[in-house]
Structure 1
Amino acid sequence: MMNALERRSTFALSSIFALRMLGLFMIIPVFSVAGQSYEYATPALIGLAVGVYGLTQAILQIPFSLLADRYSRKPLVVLGLILFALGGAIAAMSDTIYGVIIGRAIAGAGAVSAVVMALLADVTREEQRTKAMAMMGMSIGLSFTIAFSLGPWLTDLVGISGLFWVTTIMGLIAISMLLLVPKVTRHHKNFRQGYLVQLKQVLKMGDLNRLHVSVFSLHLLLTAMFVYIPFQLIEYANIPLVSHGLVYLPLLLISLFFAFPSIILAEKYRKMRGIFLTAIGGIILGLIIMIFGYQSKYVLLGGLGLFFIAFNVMEALLPSWLSKSAPIQSKATAMGVNASSQFLGAFFGGVLGGQLLLLNNTSIGWSILTAIAIIWLLISFGLAQPRYLSSVVLSLPAGKKTDEWTSQLLAIRGIEEVVVMQEQQVAYIKIDKKLIDDNVRQDLAHLLGKEVAI
């Protein structure tokens, strides 16, 4: 069960994600129409204004994450949120489409998704990591649905420039949420490497690359589907566009009801690989249902619901698995590559969704998406079960220098990382139980002055 510190930190960091995504997603369903009011606007420039955010995110995730493995993560998150808020303000004050494009590019330059996830990994124990990541994944999914419902209403109320001001306000509120997250100092055994060496190390790891392919495929399919399915909900389910948020929200909530047990099973019984592959299978099944049943309202919604269940399971498992598989000294870097893959997947998904609309053959469109998911499943069969570490919470020693104490801890075999929260006077000790024997327990008891149950 999560302790109070973990619950508070998970709430704060999930809120940061949700506030950023809410501001981002509210623009998407309205800008293709509202953007025509800007001077010099063309369809191509309107599309660029929407897409440039994801492009700068994809480019800058890795630089931000490389820095986050060397320096304190919280200041980098603050910098990213300031850029996000500044970009929103520039877009809000712009009269031309070029000003909006510049503002959106600056907002996207605050590419700290991976840094936020790495910070969440720091302040949660290994055993509680999947729950924390699940809550973050749910906050993203919920913000997506709420944004698609609120976007048209808010635009009607305050206009498109007002909507950009809302994104700025959300960015500033997100900065204040960091006050709930403890300051941490990370200690581990590995020596610091050069930036290029560190990136190469991450890119050479086969399982990490499979996870990068997974997040790329997941968000490609999600984005393509949200471009592709609205017209089918209108034509075959007789649901007007203004009511689509009311379709997505209950399906999302139902999917969370089914997703939670899967996440608990994956972590508690160490069935992560099996649940992961089953979730991809669920996505494939949902897409197959839509190939053959898209003309029926309830079959279409059933396939969409199955897709949402599998999507939410994957959203929770992917960052948790990544944090387990990534080298401890390069955790943020690995998450940065993963986040870049995610945004590239969303970019190509949007392009693909537009192309599918030109086919005028709905079954073939769903078949193409199904084929992509099947290729993803075949690639994912190569994944090995992730390494499981355990966490022990210790009070910091009185009258002893913290750096000296952590160095002594890291010298003990099986202790992989020590995350210190000085203000709370506690430390999370991450341990590989497979390497713990009686000699290690004696060394640890001698250092701590008491027996520790491992």
Structure 2
Amino acid sequence: MASNGLSGVEKKVAASLASVFGLRMMGLFMIMPVFALYGQHLEGFSPLWVGIAIGAYGLTQAMLQIPMGMLSDKYGRKPIILIGLVLFAIGSVVAAMSDTIYGVVLGRAIQGMGAIAAAVLALAADLTRDEQRTKVMAIIGICIGLSFALSLLIGPIATQALGLSGLFYLTGVLAIAGMFIVLLFVPNPVTQAPKGDTTAAPEKLKRMLRDPQLFRLDAGIFILHLVLTAVFVALPLDLVDAGLIKEKHWMLYFPAFIGAFFLMVPLIVIGVKRNNTKTMFQIALVILMIALASMAAFADNLWVLSVAVLLFFTGFNYLEASLPSLIAKFCPNGDKGSAMGVYSTSQFLGAFCGGMIGGGAYQYLGASGVFFAGLVLIAVWLFLTLGMKNPVLLKSYTLNAVFNDREHAQHMAAQLSELTGVVEAIVVVEEKVAYLKVDDNFNLSEARAVLGSVS
């Protein structure tokens, strides 16, 4: 049996790639709590264009996420990641040098063209054993959440000290730091993980969209990031109107985000122990609705807004942490790369639409109109969850398979299916791998024995 812990190399992979991902996402997030406040000197400034500038990266991310992952299959992970970070740095400089809001929009769109998420996750898969891969992905996911929390702290403080241009230059520096980490600390892959585990297959995307459980989750991440982006178009301006000067916004955001992290833990624990993720999911959506309703109804009350921000981050943190895990559990065996490709595209497209809708709603309806629109969208998502199923608690394995021909591969799949604990087994001839979904009774050594035998 393989070791239950990460090897030294896998720890290095997790730390370095999580750092690269976190630095880049921090660069994207830091603008959110400050742009509406510090961008008012830009020519062409309006709430609509504020929303477009905040969300512009989402459109190019959504368009290029899957193609960049496919290019990493062809040309290698590291070159594509480095190209993406270079594009991000160029976009940062373009935004920093702009004295019009249209130039900032262009810079943010160029930042989004550095769509490296798929390539980073694929590289993480290449450099880790199949039984440890989930742990490494979880570390990367935690780092993304931490980068969002830090962006709420660093963004306002850095902008106060450096100005808006200085903030964009800082995001460029973070991208360059990410390039050094890739070059100096990320190991070079010797093998490549199966494509079904990492990057999207275009011919499978329609099937992912037609799956009712996956569609609910893709629609959910679209709505979640739409609402998040829209809220941050209006909330900073609303807090100023309620009496909180812009220099002190981090004093609300950061403690609220950290407090929300602890408040969401009971939802996760109860959902896992009782195997009732659906109910916890719906409770998180109700918490979001209460937060948005409070923001809409008490837009001029700082204390109510502060509690509403805490509740908003509680619901957001739980849903953001739960959705990727649910995608992995509901996706067809061997199609995780395609399922995550659709998921990531939906997430970034939601951010773009959130900027558009948030900016337009604020310009014509005010802050309360933005929060009410978000409330309606979360209610739509809550309705969609009525048909949601609780996932079966299974583990997934991707194992190398040794066989002579297609007939032998089919025989191998039949043998795997008969093993104790195996719920589903698929042997992919072209990739020479077997995808397994198993319960707690599964014995990994038995599967390896079947897959390593040549008849």
Instruction: Give 3-state SS (helix, strand or coil) of 1:43's partner.
Output: coil
Match of 1:108 in 2: 112
Instruction: Give 3-state SS (helix, strand or coil) of 2:114's partner.
Output: coil
Determine if the alignment matches structure 1 residue 200 to structure 2 residue 229.
no
Q: How far has the Cα of 1:46 moved from its partner? A: 6.5
Residues in 2 aligned to 1:276 and 1:352: alpha-carbon distance in whole angstroms: 25
**Change in 2 beyond 3 A, CA 1:362/1:270:** same
Q: How far has the Cα of 1:133 moved from its partner? A: 5.9
Question: What does 1:31-46 correspond to in 2, within 5 Å?
Answer: 41-43=43-45
Residues in 1 aligned to 2:202 and 2:398: alpha-carbon distance in whole angstroms: 34
Determine if the alignment matches structure 1 residue 77 to structure 2 residue 81.
yes
Tell which deviates more after alignment, 181-190 or 304-313: 181-190
Residues in 2 aligned to 1:191 and 1:10: alpha-carbon distance in whole angstroms: 17
Question: What does 1:13-412 correspond to in 2, within 5 Å?
Answer: 13-28=17-32, 41-43=43-45, 47=50, 50-67=54-71, 73-91=77-95, 102-117=106-121, 123=128, 125=132, 128=135, 131-132=138-139, 134-156=141-163, 160=165, 162-178=166-182, 179-180=185-186, 183=189, 185=191, 195-236=201-242, 238-267=243-272, 270-327=275-332, 329-358=334-363, 365-390=370-395, 404=402, 411=413
Q: How far has the Cα of 1:246 moved from its partner? A: 1.3
Q: Does the Cα contact within 8 Å between 1:26 and 1:147 map onto a contact in 2? A: yes
Deviations, residues 321-373 of structure 1 (Å, cap 9, x unaligned): 22333345443333232222222222222232233334567655533322211
Instruction: Give 3-state SS (helix, strand or coil) of 1:432's partner.
Output: strand
Match of residue 6, structure 2, among 3, 19, 24: 3
Instruction: Give 3-state SS (helix, strand or coil) of 2:90's partner.
Output: helix
Q: Does the Cα contact within 8 Å between 2:200 and 2:337 map onto a contact in 1? A: no
Residues in 1 aligned to 2:199 and 2:186: alpha-carbon distance in whole angstroms: 31
Residues in 2 aligned to 1:392 and 1:199: alpha-carbon distance in whole angstroms: 22
Deviations, residues 378-437 of structure 1 (Å, cap 9, x unaligned): 11222223354426799xxxxxxx77499999755248599xxxxxxxxx9974225977
Residues in 2 aligned to 1:191 and 1:230: alpha-carbon distance in whole angstroms: 40
Q: How far has the Cα of 1:376 moved from its partner? A: 0.7
Tell which deviates more after alignment, 322-331 or 311-320: 322-331
Q: Does the Cα contact within 8 Å between 1:258 and 1:309 map onto a contact in 2? A: yes
| Unaligned stretches of 5+ residues in structure 1 | 395-401, 419-427, 450-454
Q: Does the Cα contact within 8 Å between 1:86 and 1:106 map onto a contact in 2? A: yes
Q: Percent identity?
A: 33
TM-score, with length taken from structure 1: 0.76
Q: How far has the Cα of 1:207 moved from its partner? A: 1.8
Q: How far has the Cα of 1:283 moved from its partner? A: 1.0
Q: How far has the Cα of 1:51 moved from its partner? A: 4.5
Deviations, residues 279-320 of structure 1 (Å, cap 9, x unaligned): 212212222333444444322211221111111111111122
Residues in 2 aligned to 1:315 and 1:417: alpha-carbon distance in whole angstroms: 30
Number of aligned residue pairs: 426
Q: Does the Cα contact within 8 Å between 2:23 and 2:178 map onto a contact in 1? A: yes
Instruction: Give 3-state SS (helix, strand or coil) of 2:214's partner.
Output: helix
Q: Does the Cα contact within 8 Å between 1:220 and 1:346 map onto a contact in 2? A: yes
Instruction: Give 3-state SS (helix, strand or coil) of 2:376's partner.
Output: helix
Q: Does the Cα contact within 8 Å between 2:288 and 2:312 map onto a contact in 1? A: yes
Q: How far has the Cα of 1:8 moved from its partner? A: 4.4
**Change in 2 beyond 3 A, CA 1:146/1:332:** farther
Q: How far has the Cα of 1:56 moved from its partner? A: 1.3
TM-score, with length taken from structure 2: 0.76
CA RMSD across the alignment: 4.3
Instruction: Give 3-state SS (helix, strand or coil) of 1:3's partner.
Output: coil
Deviations, residues 104-135 of structure 1 (Å, cap 9, x unaligned): 43322111224434555674747747853651
